[in-house]
Amino acid sequence: LQESLERAKRGEGPSVGQWLEFPGYTLARTIAPLGQDWVLIDCEHGNISDNDMYLQVGAISSSGCSPIVRIAGSEPWMMKRVLDAGAHGIMVPMCETKEQAEAIVKACKYPSNRWAQGVRGVGAMFASAAFNQTMGQYTLSANDNVMICVQIESRKAFENVEEIANVDGIDMLFIGPNDLASSMGYAGLDHSKVPEVQDATAQILKATLDAGKYAGHFALSADVAAQRYDQGFHFVNCGADIVAIQAWMCTEMSKLQSL
Ligand code: 3PY
């Protein structure tokens, strides 16, 4: 994950991922070796339980790909579960203030000199395997190795984005364009055609880059992902499992129905 982000920062190609809304070890095992840098397990909107998340994190990491988990809210216990499962990165939705961002960092870091405020509990029995490390190695290095990403996806977050971007320990700001548009009064519309949303997107990107952080943007196709990369975003997905399955099945079915 780290390597792909650095590559993207050098302008040598995006950090690319897949997005899972469905549960299942078998699904994760099938997707993980396809060549992307990471696979995101969506526990916010997907049909993915805590147990499914554990199994998918293991399946993805054992294929040499980075599991990233989006949690449902910003409760510290949710972050603890995901980190202890072995996620290489955590995505927290709806971060709107500097204080929330600081609380997220605190929950994700073990107490140490640099992170004296960290409160993460020690118990990474499963996480170490996901990093190919002993438990001791994992515990010593997790503060530096686990990517912390917050989503900027509301008008309030946009207004506070410079402060959020400058919170120490936040590695990435990721725009959720559907929620951002919705919060600006454009729910359900094509956000890419709404100037107010696109202006906000450009300003969020600038604040993120000015703070030296990684920038991510949600995308439902490789074409959109490529446009976002060209715009300056480092980290992009190229669709989602449910979207791909529905699109492929509809296309194939309609060929037969049109006979
Ligand atoms: C959004 O588009 O709002 C997201 O969070 C992506 O799922």
Quick: pLDDT tens for 159-201: 999 999 999 999 999 999 999 999 999 999 999 999 999 999 9
Which of 44, 34, 163, 191 shows the shortest CA–CA distance to 100?
Answer: 163
Contact 38, 1 (CB under 8 A): yes
Q: What is the mean pLDDT of residues 227-244?
A: 97
pLDDT classification of 202: cutoffs 50, 70, 90: very high
Atom of ligand 1 minimally distant from the CA of 218 = 6
The pick from 70, 184, 218 for probing ligand 1's pocket by mutation, whose C-beta has the most ligand atoms within 8 angstroms, reads: 218
Beta pairing class for 38-42 and 66-70: parallel
Residue 125 burial (CB < 10 Å; 0-12/13-18/19+)?
exposed
Q: How far apart are CA 6 and CA 13, in angstroms?
A: 10
pLDDT recorded at residue 73: 97
Contact 122, 110 (CB under 8 A): yes
Q: Which residues are marked as active site?
A: 45
Ligand 1 centroid – CA 70 distance (Å): 11
pTM, two decimal places: 0.97
Q: What are phi and psi of 61, to 5 degrees?
A: -65, -35
Q: Long-range CB contacts (< 8 A, 24+ apart) of 111-117?
A: 112/143, 114/143, 115/143, 115/169
Give 235's contacts (C-beta < 8 A, 6+ positions apart): 5, 8, 14, 15, 17, 172, 174, 214, 215, 216, 217
Angle at 97 between CA 77 and CA 231, to 5 degrees: 105
Query: Closest Cα to atom 1, ligand 1: which residue?
Result: 176
The pLDDT tens digits of the residues spanning 48-77 come to 999 999 999 999 999 999 999 999 999 999
Ligand 1 centroid – CA 136 distance (Å): 36
Sign of the alpha-carbon dihedral angle for 22, 24, 28, 30:
negative
The pLDDT tens digits of the residues spanning 1-49 come to 999 999 999 999 999 999 999 999 999 999 999 999 999 999 999 999 9
Atom of ligand 1 minimally distant from the CA of 191 = 2
